Every structure is written in structure tokens, then in C-alpha cells.
Structure 1
Amino acid sequence: MERLMRAVQELSMARTLPDVQRIVRTSARELTGCDGATFILRDNGKCFYADEDAIEPLWKGMRFPMEACVSGWAMLNKDAAVIPDIYQDDRVPHEAYRPTFVKSMVMVPIRTLDPIGAIGNYWSYEREPSEKEIGLLQALADSTSIAMENVQVYTELEDRVRDRTADLEKAKAEIHQLSISDELTGLLNRRGFFLLAQPALELAKRNAHSCLVAFLDVNGLKRVNDIHGHEIGDELIRDVADVLRATLRKSDIIGRMGGDEFCVLVCEPEGDLPVLRKRIFEAFQEFNETHDRVYCLSASVGLIHVWPADSCTLEQLLARADELMYEEKREAPGRR
């Protein structure tokens, strides 16, 4: 009885099916002093021998039709099968037992009302277990059914917590993404640009790499808004963003700073300032030639080369690029 109580306590703390199996297979042998014990689960009309503890291997990992094994009989009849001599009982598939040490056995269902499995005890000699031993084994099986239900509930709760946590993490990531993204273009907004560009700039300097900073001001947005409306103006801004995204490298950091202003940080550039300027202008020109819009894409651009020894902050670099952009705009009044 003391061993049963310990098993019941251990089962009450089990949180996984393997834990339940380990407790049951060990306890079942110790309760009756048998030579082997099996833990069987009901699995889609078959008996699955999920675990065992025996002096010799039995049927662990194997499945048998419920009508063809003693564990199935115990589940189907919702009663214990007590067999003092396996070769004198028609319920036993004798050929399956001949290679084993088993001479006598008892099988009890896990949950008698609606069995979900069975626990078997086996002896290497002919023996009829006492009513007390059968009662202890059935009590273990009843406690096992409760433990298995607890495991299922615990697993479902864990799954819910895991799903809820995943949902919260996803929502958090989406909120963060929204906080650093420009709603109109999908590019980084001002906050997002600084969040990514500042550490990228610092890393480039530490690695003795140069960078390029570009400040773009889209030409003609006010005129488009006044003549064609803000929806067309928004379309113009989206087109500029798409061209920049397609023209620059994935590693380049692009942001819309607001209104008609865009910024770019190019780390480890493939060319100098004229090369970047030419690439951007040619991309706008190709867009204008291949798309039928009521406007043409163009921008005034301020570009600076940032050397590793430059101690300016990103804010200061953008201010310098902004000044250069306005110088270009003043030199070509028609671009405003």
C-alpha cells in the first residue's frame, strides 16, 4: 500500500506522458513483484505497447488489433484479465507469447468506464495473483487514468500559453514595425531610419569603411498636389520610394523623413558620389520613360562622403547633405 501511495503522489506531479509511463512501468513491477510490466495505450482500434519494464524484451513499440491481444480484451470488456497459465487460456495469442518468458499474467484496464489503455503484469512461472495484488494494480491503473487526463489538460494549457505568447510577440513585433515604418511608402520613417542608420554608421567607422549619405527632396510635389490632388501626390511619393528601393542595394538604408524628403545611408559603397547620383537620376529617367503618369519623377539630391575619421553624428551628416540639396535646388529653380 505504501508503494501505491508513493506512485499516486508521483503520478499527481507528472506533466508529460513519458513521465506517466516511467512511473507506471516501475510501480507496476514493484507492487506485485512480477517479472515484467507493460504500459499499453488504446490507439485507433489497436493496442500500442508504449512502454515496458521486464527481465527480457516483450513488445515495446508494437501495435496489435484489440481483438487479438489480452490488453484489448481487458479494454473491450472493461475488466481485469487474470491468467494463471497463458497456454490454458484462449484469450492469449499463444504464438506471440512463445518466444517470451511469460507463463502467467494479469491485465487491468486504465479507466474501467471507458478504457484508454491497460497495464500488464507478467511472471516467468505459473502464478495466480491474489485479489489484493489485482486490487493494487487496478488502483494504479485508476490513478494512471487521472494522471493522463491531467497531462492532457496541462499540455493544452501549455499550448494555449505558448500560442498566446506567440500572438503577443507577433503583435509586439507588428507594433514595433509600425512605429518605425512610413505608412504611405513602407520605407523606414524618420525614427526607423535613425534607429537603423546610426548603429550601421558607427559600425562602418569602427571597421574603417567609408559611407555615402544622400538627402533627396522630390521636385514638383506641391504643383502635383495643387493641380491633380493629394491622391496623385501620394502616388508620386510611392513611385519615388519604389524606384529608390529597386535601385539601391538591400543593405542600403532608405527612409522617408516626411513630406517630400528621403534619406539614404550607403555603407561600403560600390562607387563614389557621382556614381550614386547617376544611378538615382538614371532610375528616375527610366521610370518616366516606361510609365504613363501625369508627372515626371525627379529630385534634388545632396550627397556627402563620410570617411572613417569623420566624427560627425548622423544628424549632423544629414544636415550637411540637406544644405547641399538646397544648393542644387537653388541653382535650378524649376526643380522646386
Structure 2
Amino acid sequence: MTAPQTTSSTETSAAASGPVRGMTRLLEAVQELSLARSLEDVQRIVRTAARELSGCDGATFVLRDNGKCYYADEDAIAPLWKGSRFPMEICISGWAMLNREAAVIPDIYVDSRIPHAAYRPTFVKSLVMVPIRTMDPVGAIGNYWANEHTPTTQEISLLQALADSTSVAMENVAVYSELEQRVRDRTTALQQANEEIQRLSLTDELTGLNNRRGFRLAAGPALDTGRGQGHHGLLAFLDVDGLKRVNDTEGHDAGDALIKDVATTLQSAVRPFDILGRMGGDEFCLLIVDSAIDPAELKSRLGEAFRRFNESSDRSYQLSASIGVVHTPPTDDRTLDELIAQADELMYADKSKRKAALRSGTPS
């Protein structure tokens, strides 16, 4: 009587080792996919894990792209179709996506779903292709063998489990990318808002010139730099004539128009890099560094700019201003505030002189 055959523990262990290794590798891939933050990361993880799960000779990662199958990545013993696009209707990955099920093909040359001409240059003899997500598939993962091979139920299940995890990872990447984009958009918006706040804090809203703070922040360093380079400078303080009268007789809109006309006229009379600011109300300041003109010449230039405006304008008012100008040589150690104060005094002296001239009927 023949004794019944028994299976040794070594044989049992060997039989079980394949599925155990596959499950272990799948769990590793799932963990890696949970940390993926880009589609490139997902592709890299999947192309490697898909091949290692079954010990096949090649694996591809395919994306659904506007009615085509885009072979985005691969890991294989020889080149397959990375970077290529094929219509879904003629591609086995397209078949798996359109039918939402795995395509198991032990011999590609006896299966009508395979475009044989595309496969002949390759090493592929057998394959399995599973969709990434069976509900509305977004791609597919393929395993390929160089020799005829019938994929086992275990191999198909592991590959499909990897595909299911891949779909979750792709959704996570999309969400993560959207959140990153929102953060970037919010950061950009915040930066733009801060820049606008900074600009408004330095800019006179009515004229677009520097306001008092903006003028000081720009003029102080420019003055110091000019002196360090041996340049002379001129600082002018202007007080616009007649603003109160215009405000009282024609309204504040007309007064605002007058102030804006003064700003535009002053800008036309100086260089783009000269520093001009509205100090408040009807007062303006101008700093010219590297000046080749003296205070009298600058006053004459600004007065001429006002005269040209008055001759060409149909405004109800005439532009004019009392002006004080201080010359600052390179060796001058006066601060910007001291120069402004002195120019202010000279402006009041000019205003008094002009008023006296008007009373006496003598041209100022």
C-alpha cells in the first residue's frame, strides 16, 4: 500500500513566497504613492512597482488624453512606446479603459484587439492591461512578457490593486496641485496687495507724485549718494498760488484739477529721474542732483513752464507759485529736513516779494 504524499514545510513556504512578495511590494508601492506630490512621482513609482509585482519584462503607464492613449512612462528591457499617442479604439490600453476591465492576452498574435504592426518591432509576446479606475478610467497600466505567458489571477489582482491605488494617488496629486496653486495665487495676490499698500503709502493719490513720506524716502538717499559722488544739488519748495480762491469760488473739483495741472506742469519741466513730491495741500518739493543750473535758473525754468501752460490752457484759473530754491554743494552737511526748512523760508520770502510787487504794480 502506497503511503499518502505529503507536502513539506519548505515546499509550502516556497509556494507561498511569491504571493507574499507580491503583497509586500504592493504595500510598499501604496505607501510610496501616498507620499507622491506630482504626476511624475506617480509615474516613477508605478512603472517600477508594476514590473516588480509580476517579474515581467516591461511595464507601461498610460494616460487618457483627449480621446487618445498617451504612453507617458515605461520600465522595460527594450523601448516600447514611451511618448507616443494612439487612438483609444485601436489600442489595447484604450480597450481596457473603454471596457473598464482588464485585458489578459497570453499570445498577442492571435488576439484581434492587438495592432500587430505596432508590436512587431518590440519584444512583447504576452501582456495584461488594467484600467486605472474602473469608473471613468483615467489611464491604464500594462505588464509585458518577452515569452508567451498566461498572467495568473494573482498577477492580475496585484496589478489591478496597484491601478486602484494609482487612481487615488492621481486624485491626491490633483488636489495637492490645486491647493498649491491656490496658495501661489493667494501669495501673489497678497504680494500685489502689499505692493499696492506700499505704493499708496508713498504716493499722492491725487497727482500720482511722491507724497511727503515718499519724497523723503527717495530724496534722502539720492542726496547722500549725489554728495558722495561729488555732485551739486538744488532743492526747491513751491507753494501754489490761488488754491483757496479756486476752492471757494469754483469748488473742490476745480481745486483738485488745479493741483493736478501743477503736478503735470512741474513734471514737464524736470527730468524723469529728478525727485518730485506733493508735500500736502498746495505745497510741492523738487530735488535735482547733479545740477548744472543755479537757483535763479531753476526758478525761471519752473515759472516758464507755468506760463506755457497758461498760454495754452482754457482753464478758468492761471497757474503760478511762490518758489524757494536752495543750492547744496557736495561738501554740504545739511540734512534733507534742514534744506527743506531753508527752501520753505526762501519760498515765503519770494511770496512776500511777489505780493509787494503786486501792490506796487511792479512786475515780480
Classify the TM-score, shorter chain.
Answer: over 0.9
Partner Cα distance (2:252, 2:47) in 1: 75
Cα deviation per residue 1:157-204 (whole Å; 9 max; x = unaligned)?
111111111111122222222222222222111111112211222222
| TM-score relative to the length of structure 2 | 0.89
- Listed one character per residue, the Cα deviations across residues 24-77 of structure 1 (whole Å, up to 9, x for unaligned) are 011111111111111100011110111111121111111100001100000011
Residue in structure 1 matched with residue 120 of structure 2 by the alignment: 98
SS of the residue 2:62 aligns to? strand
Report the 3-state secondary structure (helix = DSSP H, G, I; strand = E; otherwise coil) of the residue aligned with 2:351. Answer: helix
Listed as ranges, the matches of 1:163-178 within 5 Å are 163-178=185-200
Matches within 5 A, 1:319-330: 319-330=341-352
Partner of 1:79: 101
Q: Per-residue displacement from partner, 1:181-229 (whole Å, max 9, x unpaired)?
A: 2222221111111122112222222232222211111122223233333
Distance in structure 2 (CA, Å) of the matches to 1:210 and 1:120: 78
Residue in 2 aligned with 1:118? 140
Instruction: State the one-letter code of the partner of 1:191.
Output: R
Q: Find the residue that maps to 1:162 and give its secondary structure.
A: helix
Residue 298 of structure 1: aligned partner? 320
The code of the aligned residue for 1:233 comes to G
Q: Does 1:285 align with 2:307?
A: yes
In 2, distance between residues paired with 1:268 and 1:50?
A: 62
Displacement of 1:264 after TM fit?
A: 0.9
Partner of 1:268: 290
- Counterpart in 2 of 1:89? 111
**Residue from 206, 214, 220 that aligns with 1:198:** 220
Q: Distance in 2 between matches of 1:6 and 1:211?
A: 72
1:48-63 correspondence to structure 2 within 5 Å: 48-63=70-85
TM-score by length of 1: 0.96
1:317 Cα deviation from its structure 2 partner:
0.8
Structure exhibiting the larger radius of gyration computed from Cα positions: 2
The letter of the residue matching 2:319 is: L
Structure 2 CA distance for aligned equivalents of residues 212 and 312 of structure 1: 13
Mapping for residues 1-336 of structure 1, pairs under 5 Å:
1-269=23-291, 271-333=293-355, 334=358
For 1:144 and 1:226, locate their aligned partners in 2 and report how far apart those are by CA, in whole Å. 75
Give me the whole-angstrom Cα distance separating, in 1, the residues matched to 2:292 and 2:187: 43
Q: Given residue 189 of structure 1, which amino acid in structure 2 is its aligned partner? A: N
State the AA in 2 paired with 1:67: E
**RMSD of aligned C-alpha atoms?**
1.6
Report which stretch shifted further, 8-17 or 300-309.
300-309
Structure 1, unpaired ranges of 5+? none
Q: Which residue of 1 aligns with 2:7?
A: none
Compute the displacement of 1:270 (Å).
Answer: 5.2
Q: List gaps (5 residues or longer) in structure 2.
A: 1-22
Deviations 1:249-299, CA, capped at 9 Å, x for gaps: 221111111111100112223544344333322211111111111111111
